Amino acid sequence: MRRPVFAILIGVIVPALCSAAGATWTIVSVPDETGVTGKSDPITGIQRATRAIALKDAGVTIATDLKTAIPAAPEISLFCISGRSIKGLKQLGLTPVALVERGGLTGARLVLIAREGVALDTLKGKRLASRPLSADLRSMLELEVFTPTGLELSGLIHVEVKKGIDAVLAVKTGQVELGLVDQMELDQTARVVPPVAAGIKRLQTSPELPFAALLVRNAQINDPDITRLTATLISGEVGQGTTDRWVPVKPE
Amino acid sequence: MKHNLEIQRAGPEHRPRFFIATALLWCIFILSMAPGMLQARVIAVLKSDDLAAYSAPIESFTQAINARVVTYDLGGDLEKGKQIAQQLAQVPPDLILALGAKAAYSARKYITQVPVVYAMVLNPEKYQLTQPNMTGITIEIPPETVFTQYRMFAPEISRVGVIYGTATEELVKRAEKAASSLGILLVRAQVADPREVGEAFDRIRDMIDSLWMVPDTTVLTEETFRLLLQKTKSRKIPYLAYSDNFVKAGAFVSVSPDYRTIGSQAASIARQILDDKTSPAAIPPAPPIGTHLTVNLQTAKALDLHLDPLVMAFADEIIGERPAERSTHDKP
C-alpha cells in the first residue's frame, strides 16, 4: 500500500542525487507489479498513472519484467524493486543491500482467506478474488501459499479486483469463496469494522514481500554510497512522510 | 492385435506400406478434426452505446478470457441491436457479453440458444433478463459492502437516515438488515413525492448522524439533492452517496461499482459456462464485486471529519485534494 511512494521517491530523488554526486549508475524501478500495494498512497494520494509519469519524467527506466530487464542492461548496477521475493532476485544475480522499514515492518504478506466453517476440500476450482498477480508472484504463491493448503492457484477462477478490501468483502458476502489480500489491509479492515473480519478465516500467509528494496549487481556500489543514498532518501519530503528508515540487509 | 497378426502374415516386405497407409489415415483423421480443435472460441461483446464506461470492462474481460473477442456497438439504437442480435443468432458465437440495458434487451429478445452474460444494466428485472440462457452481474452493490465502506471513512456513524420511495422499498429493507449486522441503525423516512423530501429530512434530523442516498427518482432530483446537501452540511453530518458525481458535487463519500472489475467478474462467469459447462440458468445473477470509492476532502473538512490516513489508501478517487488528483474511473 505504501510502496508506490517509494517508487516515486526513488524515481524523483535518486536521479537527482546520482547526478549531484557524479554517480554513473542508473536505476531500474519495478513499480507495484505484484498487486500487493494500494492504488493510491495514504499520504500523498498519488495515483498509479501519475506515479508512472513521474518516474518516466525523472528518467528512470521502468521495467515490468526483471528477468528480461536485468540481462538486457548490464550497465545498470542499482535497482529499486517493490513487492518482490528477495530469494527470487538473488537468483537473478542481485544482492539486496537495504530495505524500507515503516511501522516496524519491512514488507507485506499476502493472506489467503475464506469464510469461517468452509471445508478446504470444497474450495478446489472455486472463485478467488485478489488484486492482479504477476507471473512470478503466482509461481511463488502456488508453492508457498496454495500447495500447503492442498489447493491449486492455477485451478481457481480468478476475479481481479482493484483493492484488497473488495476481496475481503466479496468473501464475507459469499460472492467468491477465496480471497488473497494484503495482511495490512485485512488488519486495517478488522480494526475499523470488526464485524467484517469476524467471519473470515486466515488459511495461509505468504513469505514477506519487501515494501521496497535497493539491490546491487556484483556489489559494484560500496557501503558508504548506499548509506549516503538512503539517508538522502529519508530526508526528502516524501521520504519523511513514508519511510521510518532504510534497514541494511545483513549478508548471509 | 488383428493388425499385428496381418503384418506377421503379410511378411516383413509389406510392413513399410502398411505403416505408411496407417499414417496417412491418421493424417486424414487429424485434419478432419483440426478445424474444431484448433478454432479459438469466439465471444461477441454487445455494447449499448459508444460510452467510455464500457471500455474498462471490455478491456479487462478480454484480458481475462481465452477467446477471440469481437465487439459490436448498438450506438444506442434498438433497431441496430435487433439487426446485430439476429446476425449473431445466424452465426452464433460461443458466448455473448451484453453491456448496458439496450444490449441486454436485444440479446434477450433475439438470442435464445447462445449463453448470454449481461452487466451494467440498471433494473435488470424490468427487462426480464431471466431466460435460461442468460445470467449476469447486477448493478447494486450489496448493502453490507456499502455500509462497511462508509464505516471505514466515517467510523462514528451509527444512526443512518434514509429518505426513499416505493421503488427502493425493498432495497431499504435489505439494507436495514445489513446495517444492523454492523451495529448501524437505519432511520427510515418514506416519501411519495420529491416535494416531501425537505419535510422528511426535518422529521428524522434529530435521530441521525448521517444520511444515505438511494437511487430513487421519487426522492432524488437536482433540487432535492441541493436541498439535502445544504441541510446535511448545516447539521455537519455526512451525506453518503451511490455515485461519484454526487461526491464531486459536494456529498462526502460514494461507493459505486468498479467497471474494470465487472469485466473480470464477467470473464469468471464466462469461464464457468464455457470451461466448466455450467448452464447459465444455474448461475444466479450476482452483484458487482469491485467498488470505486470516492471521497471529498473539502466536504470532510467542512464537516470536521478526521480521516485516517491509512483508510484513505482505500480511496480510488479523492476530490478536492490537489489538481493532479483527477478521476481514473473512466480510465482505469
pLDDT at B203: 97
Output the pLDDT for position B176: 96
CA distance B254 to chain A (A): 15
ipTM, interface predicted TM-score of the complex: 0.79
Contact A192 B321 (CB under 8 A): no
Q: Pull the grid cell for residue A134.
A: 504477476
Cβ <8 Å between B64 and A169:
no
B106 pLDDT band, cuts 50/70/90, is very high
- Is A163 in the B-facing interface, judged by CB distances under 8 Å? yes
> Residues B55-97: pLDDT tens digits?
999 999 999 998 999 999 999 999 999 999 999 989 999 999 9
**In the prediction, which pLDDT does A47 show?**
29
Residue B321's pLDDT is 67
Q: How far is A28 from chain B (nearest CA, A)?
A: 24
Q: What percent of chain B has pLDDT over 70?
A: 85
Domain edges within chain B:
2-32, 42-140+259-282, 143-257+291-319
Give the 3-state secondary structure of residue A80. strand
Mean pLDDT of the B305-312 span: 83
Picking from A49, A127, A162, the nearest residue to B260 by CB comes out as A162
Q: Do B151 and A193 touch (CB under 8 A)?
A: yes
- Rounded Cα distance between B270 and B117, Å, is 7
Chain B residue numbers with beta carbons less than 8 Å from the beta carbon of A165 are 149, 152, 291, 314
Q: What is the mean pLDDT of residues B136-148?
A: 93
Q: Which residue of B has its CA nearest to A4?
A: B313
Give the mean pLDDT of B36-53.
Answer: 84
Question: Would you call A169 and B264 a contact, using CB atoms and an 8 Å cutoff?
Answer: no
Q: Residues B241, B229: contact at Cβ < 8 Å?
A: no
Confidence of residue B330 (pLDDT cuts 50, 70, 90): very low
Shortest CA gap B212–chain A (Å): 18
Which residue from A minimizes the CA distance to B276? A125
Question: How does pLDDT run along chain A (252 residues), one tens digit per residue?
Answer: 344 444 444 444 444 444 333 333 445 554 443 322 333 332 222 223 334 444 444 445 556 566 676 777 666 666 766 656 666 677 777 888 888 787 788 888 899 999 999 999 999 999 999 988 877 788 889 999 999 999 999 999 999 998 889 999 999 999 999 999 988 889 988 888 888 888 899 999 998 887 777 777 766 566 776 777 677 666 655 555 556 788 888 766
A45 has a chain B CB within 8 A of its CB: yes
Q: What is the pLDDT of residues B190-220, one digit of tens each?
A: 999 999 999 999 999 999 999 999 999 889 9
C-beta atoms of B315 and A176 within 8 A: no
DSSP 3-state assignment of A104? Answer: coil
Find chain A residues with C-beta within 8 A of B321's C-beta: 45
B3 vs A105 pLDDT, higher one: A105
Q: Look at B264 and A160 and tell me if their CB atoms are within 8 Å.
A: yes
In this prediction, residue B4 carries a pLDDT of 41
B42-140+259-282 shares its CATH topology with B143-257+291-319: yes
A47 touches chain B (CB under 8 A): yes
| pTM given for the model | 0.76
Domain at B42-140+259-282, CATH from 1.10.10.60, 3.90.1150.10, 2.60.40.3080, 3.40.50.2300: 3.40.50.2300
Q: Which residues in chain A have their CB less than 8 angstroms from residue B326's CB?
A: 47
Which residues, 6 or more positions from B178, have their beta carbon under 8 angstroms from its beta carbon?
Answer: B142, B143, B144, B146, B147
Please report the pLDDT score of residue A103 as a whole number: 73
A127-130: strand order across its sheet: A157-160, A127-130, A178-182, A110-115, A200-205
Residue B164 has what pLDDT?
A: 97
Which residue has 448461475 as its cell numbers?
B283
Q: Of A105, A157, A176, A237, which to mutate for an interface test with B (greatest number of B Cβ within 10 Å)?
A: A157
- Residues in chain A closer than 8 A to B324 (CB atoms): 46-47, 50
Evaluate whether A111 touches A181 at the Cβ level (below 8 Å).
yes
CA–CA distance, A228 with A245 (Å, rounded to integer): 13
Q: Please give the domain boundaries of chain A with CATH numbers for all domains.
A: 3-106+209-248 (3.40.190), 110-205 (3.40.190.10)
Would you call B309 and A42 a contact, using CB atoms and an 8 Å cutoff?
yes
Find, among B214, B224, B152, the residue nearest to B184 by Cα.
Answer: B152
Task: Name the architecture of domain B143-257+291-319.
Answer: 3-Layer(aba) Sandwich (3.40)
